[in-house]
A and B are shown apart, each in its own frame.
Chain A
Amino acid sequence: MLPGLNCTFDRLPGPLPVSRAQLTRKSWKAAASLARSLGGRLVSLWATDRRPIDGHMALHAAYATSAGLTWVTLPLTDSLRVYPGVDDVFAEAVRMQRAVADLLGLLPEEHHDARPWLRHDAWPADYHPLLAQHTGLETFEGAPELYPFVPVEGDGVHEIPVGPVHAGIIEPGHFRFSVVGEKVLRLEERLGYTHKGIEKRFEGQRPLDAALLAARVSGDTTVAFGWAYAMAVESACNCTVPERAQWLRALALERERVANHLGDLGALGNDAGFSFGLAQFSRLKEDWLRLNAAAFGHRYAMDTVIPGGVRADPAEAHLEQIARQCDDIERETGQLRSIYDEHAGLQDRFAGAGRVSPELAARLGLTGLAGRASGQAHDLRSDFRLAPYDALGTVCVSSRAGDVAARVAVRFDEALESLRLIRTIAARLQAESLQGPIHSALQVASTPAYGVGWVEGWRGEVLVALELDQYGVIRRCHCHDPSWQNWPLLEHAVIGNIVPDFPLINKSFNLNYSGQDL
């Protein structure tokens, strides 16, 4: 809810504090300013072609404030394909607005950056795949297009182009460095290489079938996206999830967080030349994944969360193993942390590298784990305490240092906090009171319905906004990864650092390509 806006808010069904409102062109802009003044943040901006339903295009934004999530919609008439941009209020909206221009052909009134973002050269500029008249199956002979990077000129300045194929086992993207000697003057990212038409693919699918797609928006965040999608479907269908399923979802989500933090902590050691760290942490991560396979039937618990509940219910023996493993991993992580802390060479690389000040983070909307390392202490688990987190009392970890060392420290602290949560969850799941069904049946409404899912994944808040039509089929499913907010901050973080520190700084953010490109 955004108090003071002259409109009516509908509260969406479900446990999330989400309200929807339809705005006018004037109040659309006022909503952004109001959210800003309330200390809120822009979670996502997207658009829908609703012409087949109510004759207009619709632009959406989701703002988070202390009261919850506000989903505002601006209807746009067919002839008028421009809208008041919000990038002057929330800078993080720039790339989202560029994506809306690529996918639906809607433009902000003042187009500060008119370059395409998700579209490269595989389809023509006048083809907007998310428009209702397109099936998404059209193919085109692409002609190479030149992408104008922002040039940096001056005595001794040269460019280093990197990617899309990188020299390691990582996702594709292009980085254009402008450097003097070893010092980075400017980094410009170009993403969109893994765009595979996920949002178009959702259209026309039944909500239960499309869970497979939602779980594959990003493999390392499969539980968070799976849960957010399930939450959105459950809200749209007004379905209540059994209590045991909620606890099992939290178990899978926290295990996903720990798995990724363990992997990153090892990789961060390795990127600073300390391969011992990688060997040790990747060993712990493998132990962790193997127990996932035993308990959930999948090493990454993919497809564990489904609309209505969960698919797997770990046996009691596995729950005991999970609790014991938390003790082991906690002990070993503690030992490795003191080794990291006392290693002069490692700390020399970590401290001060890739710093994002809390002021810059607040201004540009840095979010999630990286945000918490730069003083942005938001965590949906402690801010809104959605079940079962209401019974767990999650501690929001944060730091104000904003450098690689801070992002390492936040990972250590969050991993330890998640281990504590998992132990509690494993114990609770064995209690008599929590035995019962893990799934409830979905009743799809016969009127158009909306739903939102909002989950604190390991990188940050993951959002899924869903629109079902009167036949219970997906009209639009928008998936948002916090990397949208954080990628631009990486460009800032490397300014003034040396090129060889980029892999380390990049890893300390470990942002998502697939979840951003969709």
Chain B
Amino acid sequence: MWPIIRNIARTGLISEPPPEAELQWRTNAQWIESEMLRILGRALTIRHVDAGSCNGCELEIHALNNPYYNIEGLGMRFVASPRHADLLLVTGPVSRHMRVALERAYEAMPEPRLVVAVGDCGCTGGVFGESYASCGRVANVIPVDVAVPGCPPTPIDLLKGILAAVDRRMPSTISTRPGSL
């Protein structure tokens, strides 16, 4: 037990980004948390669906949970069922084999079904395009609120995209916000 506690103590609190982005991130972190609570009155729940990704985007979505980005500390968490989700985070071009599963996950969500398409493939179909096996971009299958470009998008870009989706569906509730987020 002691080595564990020692390691935790030595590591300290690291939920901060690297120096150059520090100030902007800290302001945003506080803003994100308060906005999330104000708009939703609770944590934002996210359900991820890989609809045919190369798994690059999944690596960055995983990274959101690391202590640096600490997404749960911002009032967002990943849930195991679309029935518990406010927002669907979809990666990949939608493979034709995943089309039905994606549609069902979307339909299982309660309103307002926010959808964020992740990555160049989610935005446009990417290098895979449309074919006998791929439906192309996510918007070809379900309505998309925000599409986050990048291959894969960085964790910060993913956060920006998630917030933009919340913002877009509830424009009147968003107060003035600092920074360029």
Contact = CB atoms under 8 A, between A and B. Distances in A.
Interface stretch (A227-235, A283-291, A448-456): A283-291
Given A196-B134, A197-B131, A219-B152, A514 B101 contact: no
Contact of A218 (B3, B54, B80, B105): B54
B56 A165 contact: no
A442 interface: no
Contacts of B68: 283, 286
Interface in A390-445: none
Nearest to A123: B132
A194 B58 CA distance: 13
Contacts of A127: 132
Nearest to A332: B7
8 contacts: A134-B132, A136-B133, A137-B131, A171-B50, A198-B128, A276-B7, A282-B63, A282-B67
Interface residues of B, number: 52
Contacts of B80: 167-168
A105 interface: no
Interface string B150-165: 0110100000000000
Nearest to A217: B54
A339 B7 contact: yes
Contacts of B18: 290
B72 to A, nearest CB: 11
B56 A219 contact: yes
A111 interface: no
Most buried by A among B8, B66, B105, B152: B66
Interface stretch (B27-35, B90-98, B109-117, B173-181): B90-98
Interface in B140-158: 151-152, 154
A129 B56 contact: no
Interface stretch (A6-14, A47-55, A64-72, A138-146): A138-146
Contact of A139 (B56, B61, B92, B132): B132
B63 A197 contact: no
Given A139-B132, A200-B132, A219-B53, A342 B127 contact: no
A514 B54 contact: yes
Nearest to A171: B50
A469 to B, nearest CB: 21
A139 B14 CA distance: 50
B53 A514 contact: yes
B129 A194 contact: no
Contacts of A193: 52, 95, 97-98, 101
B133 A169 contact: no
A38 interface: no
Contacts of B96: 122-123, 142
A136 B3 contact: no
A172 B50 contact: yes
Given A172-B101, A213-B127, A300 B55 contact: no
A338 interface: yes
B128 A197 contact: yes
Contacts of B11: 280, 283
Contacts of A213: 127-128
A40 interface: no
B48 interface: yes
Contact of A194 (B48, B61, B98): B98
A456 B50 CA distance: 26
Nearest to A220: B55
Interface string A93-137: 000000000000000000000000000111100010100001011
Interface in A169-196: 169-172, 192-196
A196 B54 CA distance: 10
Contacts of A120: 97
Contact of B65 (A136, A171, A201, A282): A282
B7 A300 contact: no
A170 B50 contact: yes
A283 B92 contact: no
Interface size class on chain A is 35 or more
Contacts of B127: 201, 212-213, 216
A374 interface: no
Contacts of A169: 48, 50, 58, 61-62, 78
Interface in A359-396: none
B76 interface: no
A206 to B, nearest CB: 14
B128 to A, nearest CB: 5
Contacts of B8: 276
Contact of B66 (A138, A194, A286, A513): A286
Interface in A311-353: 335-336, 338-339, 342-343
Nearest to A144: B100
Contact of A137 (B3, B53, B132): B132
Contacts of B98: 164, 172, 193-194
A336 B154 contact: no
A497 interface: no
Given A137-B130, A218-B55, A335-B3, 11 more contacts: A123-B96, A168-B80, A169-B48, A196-B52, A196-B92, A196-B93, A201-B128, A276-B4, A342-B3, A512-B55, A514-B52
B95 A201 contact: no
Contact of B132 (A129, A144, A165, A192): A129
Contacts of B50: 165, 169-172, 194
Most buried by A among B7, B81, B97, B128: B97
Most buried by A among B14, B57, B98: B98
A129 B132 CA distance: 8
Most buried by B among A282, A336, A517: A282
A136 B3 CA distance: 57
Nearest to A142: B96
A259 to B, nearest CB: 9
A482 interface: no
